[in-house]
Structure 1
Amino acid sequence: MTRRRPLSVLVRAGVMGAAAALVLAGPAAADPNNVNPIPGINGEPRGLPPLPGETQAVYQVTGMDSPNRTEKVNVLGTDLGVMWDDGAGTMLTAFGDSAGLGVPNLLAGSVWAWTSNVIFYSHTKYPAQGIVFDGATPNPLPSPKIPGIEISLIPTAGIAVGGVQYMSMMSVKEWGDHGKWTTNFSTLASSGDGGRTWAQLPTTRRANVGGHERFQQNAFVKDDGYVYRYGTPAGRGNPGFVSRVREAEIANIDAYEYWDGRGWKVNDPLAAVPIVEGVAELSVQWNDHLRKFVMLTTDPHNSVVLRTADSPQGPWSTPRVLLEAAALPTAYAPMIFPYQTGSDLYFLLTVHRQYNVLLMRTPL
């Protein structure tokens, strides 16, 4: 793994002290700052969780127990794992809030040093034996981490268009309870060098009003010359919406069309109607095996569910449960592996209790 920001011996020695301080802290709140990613002392069993049914955990992707050893770039714990191909055969994976060592984020009551995003690179095309990272760019889009102003800037979707990488980011103003939070806006960020450096695109910002509140968290999929952008309000247990834009116009917010249930309305986010209900973080992909689009999310019970559709706007099927909430109670954000893998579907899944990401496999 390319070590763009290796941990020093001195900083590494602080792991146990930071973890011990967190263990002595009060009960975890809803925000991601109150976590313990240190295996062996965070109360979670070591190794992959045994799960009932056909959906299984096959690889630890991040953290100190991962073969990727992401702590080498100061990512002891993280979440999400938005994956896409850069158009030239490299898979980019964007993770969200990441716990590391250094100056603690005391404003949020955390003993960890927090970054809001990190990019890892991989050339794994078939993940049956895991996803191997061979490089990383920590914290490419820093956030001030100030509660009430911007506590985080988190990637929720990524896509390559015309040799340029785009991420959809949500600016989180403050965390709430029970899977709810408040955003300032969502925005696109772009990279012209394969994801090594990034810049926000201010003209693409969607403030949390005027219909744009429906697109604070996003998922992307391409079809027939369009980029389809799925959206939900901030948090979980919300309706989902869809818009689209010609690929070349992805950064032109006025060029987007919104699905109103019968057709597409240009530049009118208030016309968008729900295409699904009760969803959280979304991931959408065309699947060659099923010959359908597939959507992964968690439902209001926190079970991982799959829907299918013949067209990007739907209608979407009733949800099929892949993993009951009781089997992995703190799991969230199922993100689909971007390459076709036959009759199996691979996806990343975050486990909040250990605050790291697992690779999952389910038969279709």
Structure 2
Amino acid sequence: MTRLRRVASLAMPALLASTCTFFTMAPPVAAAAPCLGGTGSLGSSGSGQGINPIPWLNGSDGRLPELRGKTQAIAHITGPRSPNDTIGRFRVLGTDLGIMWDNGGGEILTAFGDTVGLSDNPLCGLVGDWRSNILLRSSDKDLTDGMGIDNSPVDLPNHSKEIIQSQKIPGVEQTVIPTTGISVGEGPAATQYINYMSVRSWGAPGEWDTNASGIAYSVDNGENWVTDPLTLRPNVPGTGAENFQMGSYVKHDGFVYAFGTPSGRSGDARLSRVKEADIRNLTLYEYWDGGAWVKANATVATPVIAGPVSELSVQFNEYLGQFVAMYTDAGNSVVMRRSDHLESGWSEPEVLVSSRDVPELYGAYMHPWSKGSDLYFLATTWSDYNVMLLRTNLAD
């Protein structure tokens, strides 16, 4: 894959369903967990070389990129250089994405994609302990020096568990990746929702095939998740569901607005909505056809943000008084678009981080607790396969 259109953790063709026992720092991690195949690579860097969550093995020092202008890199959230010690506390050596939402009870929940730890079995190489996804929690409101992580759902001490299980069978279900999350309700009564995609296989750079997208929910603050089969949108051309394989949730005026994009990174973004209480009832969704909302007919949904749109994050920004959409464009730059309305009027893209400065950056997800002119977001670099916090000064 080219450096301009990398697949990152949304492309792990080297993963195999072999089994190994893994490196542990406390009680042993469960045996027979899948390790990474081949050389332990994660995805493809575009040059035919696998990437690794240990930056020094990729020819990188793992430091934060030195950015000038309106955007700065603040701190690593995961990995060897993270002050959160995710390796020792959660067995998270490498991971990506970092999809954030307010849980309605004073915390930010963050869902990550394919996650790996260290392996102590030479048959697995250095990296193993593959989980398709994990979740971390944070109550840190001072983001000026980074984003502190409080805890994580675990299956053993100091081991973040896979929250939505996958079969890990190439060509059947390679992995399951969260694409957006939201909370409905307040406090202990809140229900957490994740929209995920079931990835059947990885294709050319920036392309992959999904079986379906679906909704998982949790009534215990993300500790345990249930997948609802009635929320599945099979990836079948001509049904409209193929355009809602990845998503971004936004709550507004009593509705959950759900943006959707097809598999891969080259599609347009379309829009649906549903009353908050009905988020798991696909028959009650309405779709924007360019002029009106049409109930229960995804085929009428017309593009509201022209592609290519990659992993998408949308939220209302109080400082701007507008909705903001963030993603990486075809040139692999992090861009932002603004609009007074979710359905239309999106501005031309504004570059926040140029690919000339950080060509390997992807997956920009906005922090819900950004304040004033400071817009915080998480992004990943394939050169060390870990997540960092960045800040853009909107006053600039």
Q: Quick one: distance in 2 between partners of 1:189 and 1:26?
A: 25
Q: What is the identity, as a one-letter code, of the residue corresponding to 1:187?
A: G
1:212 aligned onto 2:241: yes
Q: What is the identity, as a one-letter code, of the residue corresponding to 2:178?
A: P
Q: What are structure 1's unaligned runs of at least 5 residues?
A: 13-17
> Once superposed, what is the RMSD of the aligned Cα atoms?
2.7
- Structure 2 counterpart of 1:306, from 330, 333, 336: 336
1:36 aligned onto 2:63: no
1:263 aligned onto 2:280: no
* 2:341 alignment partner, SS class: coil
Q: Quick one: distance in 2 between partners of 1:184 and 1:102?
A: 30
CA-CA distance at 1:59 after TM superposition: 0.7
**In 2, are the aligned partners of 1:228 and 1:244 still within 8 Å (CA)?**
yes
Q: Quick one: distance in 2 between partners of 1:341 and 1:326?
A: 28
Q: Quick one: distance in 1 between partners of 2:101 and 2:268?
A: 24
Identity of aligned residues (%): 45
Match for residue 101 of structure 1? 118
- Structure 1 counterpart of 2:183, from 155, 160, 171: 160
Q: Quick one: distance in 2 between partners of 1:182 and 1:27?
A: 15
Q: Quick one: distance in 1 between partners of 2:102 and 2:23?
A: 26
CA-CA distance at 1:46 after TM superposition: 3.2
Match for residue 92 of structure 1? 109
Q: Quick one: distance in 2 between partners of 1:168 and 1:331?
A: 23
Q: What is the identity, as a one-letter code, of the residue corresponding to 1:337?
A: H
Deviations for 1:242-278, whole angstroms, at most 9, x for unmatched residues?
1000101100011110011101110010000011121
Match for residue 11 of structure 2? none
CA-CA distance at 1:155 after TM superposition: 0.5
Q: What is the identity, as a one-letter code, of the residue corresponding to 1:92?
A: L
- Structure 1 counterpart of 2:167, from 144, 148, 151: 144
Q: What are structure 2's unaligned runs of at least 5 residues?
A: 1-21, 30-34, 154-160
1:232 aligned onto 2:261: yes
- Structure 2 counterpart of 1:331, from 361, 364, 387: 361
1:120 aligned onto 2:147: no
1:310–1:110 distance in 2 versus 1, CA, 3 Å: farther
Deviations for 1:77-96, whole angstroms, at most 9, x for unmatched residues?
10100001111111100001
1:257–1:59 distance in 2 versus 1, CA, 3 Å: same
Q: Quick one: distance in 1 between partners of 2:250 and 2:171?
A: 32
**In 2, are the aligned partners of 1:34 and 1:110 still within 8 Å (CA)?**
no
* 2:57 alignment partner, SS class: coil
Q: Quick one: distance in 2 between partners of 1:102 and 1:144?
A: 21
**In 2, are the aligned partners of 1:260 and 1:273 still within 8 Å (CA)?**
yes
1:356 aligned onto 2:386: yes
1:203–1:27 distance in 2 versus 1, CA, 3 Å: closer
1:144–1:51 distance in 2 versus 1, CA, 3 Å: same
Match for residue 309 of structure 2? 279
CA-CA distance at 1:48 after TM superposition: 1.1
TM-score (norm: length of structure 2)? 0.83
Q: Quick one: distance in 1 between partners of 2:142 and 2:279?
A: 29
| Aligned residue pair count | 350
1:201 aligned onto 2:231: no
Match for residue 297 of structure 1? 327
Match for residue 346 of structure 2? 316
**In 2, are the aligned partners of 1:22 and 1:36 still within 8 Å (CA)?**
no
